[in-house]
Structure 1
Amino acid sequence: MSAIRHCAIIGGGVIGGGWAARFLANGLDVTVFDPHPEAERRLREMVALGTRSLRRLVAAPLPPEGQLRFAGSLAEAVAEADLVQESAPEIEHVKQRILAEIDHYAKPTALVCSSTSGLLPTRISSEMAHPERFLVAHPFNPVYLLPLVELCGGEHTDAASIERAQAFFAGIGMHSLHVRKEIDGFIADRLLEALWREALWLVHDGVATVAEVDDAIRFGAGLRWAFMGTFQIYRLAGGEAGMRHFMAQFGPALKLPWTKLMDVPDLTEAFLDELAAQSDAQSGEWGFRALEAKRDDCLIGIMRSLQSQGFGAGNTLAAYEKKLREGQKPVEPLRLYEGTVAQDWVDYNGHMNESRYLEIFGYATDALLARIGMDDAMLARGFSYYTVETHLRHLGEITGDERFVSTTQIIGHDTKRIHLFHRLHHDDGRLLATGEQMMLHVDTAKHKACEAAPEVLELLSALAAAHRGLPVPSEAGRGIGMK
């Protein structure tokens, strides 16, 4: 079977545009057909956003971007395509007609896929002359970022078509979930619809607002779902005894009127045995404590990422850290940033790489600036502190999963400048590195240095006064030199 190098997209809406962005970013040529008069403008905007986002996500070099073309007819769009992705409206008779037309005009070797989120593949392919090459490839929005694609064949779909699709989607960075049994809504949307129905009832009955429902997800279970899903999370909730113990504790609650969805399967011994066996297999060689540690590390990564975006649970974490920092007495060097070395911070020598030292000191500087009032409001008014000089000294080694503490001392300041000295310590007390920085207060519109606002200087002066009695580090002011 020939390689897939040219894709056709029929329907250039949100899903079709997402597919176009992912295909193009992976070096595939794309031809689009959509009769809407605004289709090309909208799709090109989506492709631009998708390309930007994928380049931020993927650290490896992406291939040269594919060529995007718009066709005047469906027949023209699919004529040379190796894969056709139908993303038309979710109406059965519309998809039947379009898929039959695609089947008529596409070359015999082309794979034909539908983005339907719930229609049965056997039914929507019923008017195709060659349904053996057809399957559902149901993605999730935004298609260019979320990796899941549900693959579901119909009664006449060849196993080779499923295998070819699995290989193709893996090659463009996606995780294929083979839905082996035709069912309305497949797997993911059935789960989403159940949650959605209950959410609507909670709002309808005045139990919660839409914002409160969303908060219940994004500050709680939603964070866990990103990496373990429902079954593995509940397995951990059962403790070392696993899934069967969890079901013994909480299974009977499924019969309680907690939700509007009261039709649940009977918890027979045979069904409980099946759940426990599948849960054991899912966990594989991971021990209970190892799974708990992996869960915690994933949560930390997600919440740190959300913190960098100033969103959701990340805002809660930021507010908590701010309170902790403000509670310090500034008579000693300030402990503004501490943490654990992530495994992806470790280089080929087995130690934290040098860029992370600067990153840690940068976070400490940001925390200090936040304490003196350099917040979003100040940035919006056009003022900030810029780093104009940095000197790092690497003195010790630290590796993955080891703890560190960064301290910051204000050596001097005036109305425009702050002179900082950072120290990075291992959790065992060893000095790992020092970082000396000069910060300059800047009018960001004029790109020139200027005096900081009085309220900023007042807070800065109070911190600096507390540090005035500390000895000036002997390493301060050093430069690089060779005898």
Structure 2
Amino acid sequence: MTQTAAIIGGGVIGGGWAARFLLNGWDVRVFDPDPEAARKIGDVLANARRSLPGLLDVALPPEGQLSFHDTIAEAVTGAIWIQESVPERLQIKHDSFAAIQRACDPRAVIGSSTSGFKPSQLQQNAQDRGQILVCHPFNPVYLLPLVEVVSTAQNPSELIETAKGILSRVGMHPLHLKKEIDAHVADRFLEAVWREALWLVKDGIATTEEIDDAIRYGFGIRWAQMGLFETYRVAGGEAGMKHFMAQFGPALQWPWTKLMDVPEFTEELVDLIAGQSDAQSGHHTIRELERIRDNNLVAMMRALKTQDWGAGALLGAQEKAIRQGSELGQTAGDIRDPAAPVLTVHRAVPLDWTDYNGHMNEAKYLQAFGDATDRFMELIGCDAAYIASGGSYFTAETHIRHIDEVNAGALIEIRTRVLGGGGKKMHLWHEMYEGARLLATGEHFLLHVSLETRRACDASPALDAALRRFADAQADLSPPDGAGRSIGAPR
């Protein structure tokens, strides 16, 4: 059953929320009085559609329905999640909450994207204070997983757990702050760094580009995967955090920063910073910078996924949940018709799988078919536990035919047949499709191997029986076009 989210305020943050929910299969209802709201959210969605699906190695749920409404009351109808992203003026937020609560389901979660107001301030004069939480995201909302969930004693524990569960299911990390403070946690760090950067520019110590270089080539990369305290723990060497604190603690007494002092925002300072920023980045449009940012974030987060670390671990957990609820989560016993080709891959082609022509490159075809082989091996019982016991399949031969072009963002699926199998051998045939369009075929011949002797040997009786079930059921099917074909043979 499709769930519904309402977005009140469709700017950059509201549009990001809309994309996050929509691309995770939710229907999204938007209220924003700006006549350009549909176009602006459309721009955000275009970026999200090209980047978010490629974070995962499994397809996201089918996209929900997006609709725009003339009143808040219309927008919140049927919504179980309502995200307020109106301008950072307390009276506007209070007016918005009043309109929301006059019309919404009393069980719905109302989250505020506020970066500065405390939840107790938002809850003032509300019809139901306990329904309103701070749910502060980070831009781009459709890619970055952190959302600061800030509650008060007015919020029932059940509502807080509901909110955290919903956010987790759309791939976010709800960081629950149980004690409120102005600007929450993350923005307080950003504000401290921002104030210091302003002084460094004003005092002529560094330009905007030099400051950005210091972050992106140095501590920013470390922070992206370990954060602050874990990074400093490592910096303490074998003695850990205690040694780090003893070694660098005295520096806290030195006049290294001006965090309690802010330079005056004169026209001269604004012009200086704006001019340096134009020189640094003005050759790109904002849309180009957004796409560059998204490409980099996708590549970094996918790299972290291979290590099951940080933001990548969240992606892995989301993939697992999606697989378990789909055909890709089936066991061999769940498959009632072993004569039918088996779905082994269902995913979007990520941005980093394409070459200079904008097409999926040769290595990624092999990776996709390799993933299909791995999934089929897992299906018949050659899983991590079996491999740990000392047996596995090694690929002996592969032949790939490139039938049609594949571009980034294409939703592909691979279906797998067994052309032969039993004993030491497994002969697989993969077909890759985008919709009804055949993109490529992959033929793989594998041998079962003892990981102790590194020699071919018979599979276990259970594994052999599971493989023969598919091989025998598919033995009478017509041979697939291209099977056994060598390079250069007639098509």
Q: Please tell me the TM-score bracket, short chain as reference.
A: 0.5 to 0.7
* Structure 1 position 131, deviation (Å): 1.1
Aligned residue in 1 for 2:202? 204
Aligned residue in 2 for 1:65? 63
2:397–2:446: 8 Å Cα contact kept in structure 1? no
From 13, 18, 21, the equivalent of 2:16 is 18
Q: Distance in 1 between matches of 2:146 and 2:18?
A: 16
* Structure 1 position 352, deviation (Å): 8.8
Alignment pair present for 1:82 and 2:80: yes
- Closer, same or farther: CA 65–393 of 1 in aligned 2, 3 Å: closer
Instruction: Classify the secondary structure of the residue corresponding to 2:29.
Output: strand
Aligned residue in 1 for 2:437? none
1:8–1:84: 8 Å Cα contact kept in structure 2? yes
Matches within 5 A, 1:141-160: 141-160=139-158
* Structure 1 position 351, deviation (Å): 8.1
* Structure 1 position 297, deviation (Å): 7.1
Aligned residue in 1 for 2:111? 113
1:138–1:149: 8 Å Cα contact kept in structure 2? yes
Alignment pair present for 1:236 and 2:234: yes
* Structure 1 position 353, deviation (Å): 7.6
From 211, 214, 237, the equivalent of 1:213 is 211
- Count residues with an aligned counterpart: 304
- Closer, same or farther: CA 479–81 of 1 in aligned 2, 3 Å: closer
* Structure 1 position 45, deviation (Å): 2.0
Matches within 5 A, 1:260-339: 260-261=258-259
Aligned residue in 1 for 2:170? 172
Q: Distance in 1 between matches of 2:444 and 2:30?
A: 52
From 172, 183, 186, the equivalent of 1:185 is 183
Aligned residue in 1 for 2:95? 97
Instruction: Classify the secondary structure of the residue corresponding to 2:225.
Output: coil
- Closer, same or farther: CA 297–112 of 1 in aligned 2, 3 Å: closer
Q: What is the letter of the counterpart of residue 71 of structure 1?
A: H
Aligned residue in 2 for 1:256? 254
Q: What is the letter of the counterpart of residue 51 of structure 2?
A: S
* Structure 1 position 143, deviation (Å): 0.5
Instruction: Classify the secondary structure of the residue corresponding to 1:226.
Output: helix
Say which structure, 1 or 2, has more relative contact order (CA 8 Å, 6+ apart): 2
* Structure 1 position 155, deviation (Å): 3.8
2:398–2:445: 8 Å Cα contact kept in structure 1? no
* Structure 1 position 158, deviation (Å): 1.3
Aligned residue in 1 for 2:271? none
Q: Distance in 2 between matches of 1:109 and 1:4?
A: 17
Q: Distance in 1 between matches of 2:397 and 2:37?
A: 44
Q: What is the letter of the counterpart of residue 219 of structure 1?
A: Y
Structure 2 unaligned blocks of 5 or more: 262-303, 313-350, 354-366, 378-386, 401-442, 452-485
1:4–1:168: 8 Å Cα contact kept in structure 2? no
From 120, 123, 130, the equivalent of 1:122 is 120
- Closer, same or farther: CA 131–261 of 1 in aligned 2, 3 Å: same
Structure 1 unaligned blocks of 5 or more: 264-293, 310-340, 359-390, 400-477
- Closer, same or farther: CA 354–165 of 1 in aligned 2, 3 Å: farther
Larger-Rg structure: 1
* Structure 1 position 95, deviation (Å): 0.8
Aligned residue in 2 for 1:403? none
From 209, 220, 223, the equivalent of 1:225 is 223
C-alpha root-mean-square deviation of aligned residues, in Å? 3.9
Deviations along 1:110-152, one digit per CA (max 9) or x if unpaired, are 1111111121111112121111111111111001100111101
1:100–1:125: 8 Å Cα contact kept in structure 2? no
Instruction: Classify the secondary structure of the residue corresponding to 1:242.
Output: helix
State the identity %.
50
* Structure 1 position 91, deviation (Å): 1.1
* Structure 1 position 355, deviation (Å): 12
Aligned residue in 1 for 2:46? 48
2:146–2:172: 8 Å Cα contact kept in structure 1? yes
Deviations along 1:332-359, one digit per CA (max 9) or x if unpaired, are xxxxxxxxx9xx999566689899999x
Q: Distance in 2 between matches of 1:354 and 1:37?
A: 61
Instruction: Classify the secondary structure of the residue corresponding to 2:256.
Output: coil
Q: Distance in 2 between matches of 1:257 and 1:247?
A: 18
- Closer, same or farther: CA 200–244 of 1 in aligned 2, 3 Å: same
Q: What is the letter of the counterpart of residue 169 of structure 1?
A: L
Deviations along 1:221-264, one digit per CA (max 9) or x if unpaired, are 1111111101001001101111010000001101111111279x
- Closer, same or farther: CA 93–227 of 1 in aligned 2, 3 Å: same
- Closer, same or farther: CA 63–198 of 1 in aligned 2, 3 Å: same
Q: Distance in 1 between matches of 2:397 and 2:43?
A: 35
Aligned residue in 2 for 1:8? 6
Q: What is the letter of the counterpart of residue 224 of structure 2?
A: A
1:28–1:66: 8 Å Cα contact kept in structure 2? yes
- Closer, same or farther: CA 352–193 of 1 in aligned 2, 3 Å: farther
* Structure 1 position 79, deviation (Å): 2.1
Q: Distance in 2 between matches of 1:15 and 1:188?
A: 16
Deviations along 1:357-392, one digit per CA (max 9) or x if unpaired, are 99xxxxxxxxxxxxxxxxxxxxxxxxxxxxxxxx99
